Amino acid sequence: MPLKITAAEMVERARARIEEIETADAIAMVDDPSVQIVDLRDPRERARSGYIPGSFHCPRGMLEFWVDPDSPYFKDVFAQDKKFVFHCASGWRSAISVATLRDMGFDAAHLREGFGAWAKAGGPVQRDDTPA
C-alpha cells in the first residue's frame, strides 16, 4: 500500500513552518547561556560520534513527554527561559520534532543540517572519554 506522505515530504512540510538555524550560527551559540542545544539522537549515535558540549540529551521517542509539564516524564530543563535548538544527525528528525513541538505550543528551532554538518564545520565535539 503506498504511503499518503513520505518521510521526505514530512520533513519538507516541517521545514516550511519552523525556524532553521545554519551550522555556523549554531556554532556561535554553543557558549551562549541563553541557548539550550538538545540532542535527539539515539544514545548509540552519541557514543559513536560524540556530542555538542553542553547539549541536553533527549531521545526522540521521549520528546513530547519530556517537554509536557503535565506529563509524569516532564524534565525541568524544558521549563527554562531559553532558546531551544534541537538537532539530530542530518536535520530530518529534528525538523519533524520541532514542527510537533510548535503544534504543542513549545517554541523551538533546529539545526538545519544536523550534527554531521556541525562536526564537518569544526564545531566542538565532546566524547565521554575526553574531558569537558
What pLDDT digit, counting tens, does each position of 57-101 carry? 999 999 999 999 999 999 999 999 999 999 999 999 999 999 999
How high does pLDDT run on average in the chain? 96
Beta-strand runs (E) in 32-71 = 35-39, 56-57
Task: Give the position of cell 540529551.
Answer: 57
Q: Give residue 130's pLDDT band: very low, low, confident or very high (50, 70, 90).
A: low
Q: How many angstroms separate the CA atoms of 88 and 131, rounded?
A: 23
* Per-residue model confidence (pLDDT) at position 128: 84
Helix (H) or strand (E) holding 48: helix 43-49
With beta carbons less than 8 A apart as the criterion, state whether 101 and 108 touch: yes
Q: Give residue 9's pLDDT band: very low, low, confident or very high (50, 70, 90).
A: very high
Identify the residue with better confidence: 118 or 128: 118
Q: How many angstroms separate the CA atoms of 6 and 23, rounded?
A: 26
- List the one residue out of 74, 104, 88, 80 whose CA is nearest residue 32: 80
* Per-residue model confidence (pLDDT) at position 131: 52
What is the pTM for the complete model shown? Answer: 0.94
CB under 8 A, 24+ apart: contacts of 56-62: 60/88, 60/93, 60/97
Report the share of the chain in percent with pLDDT over 90.
95
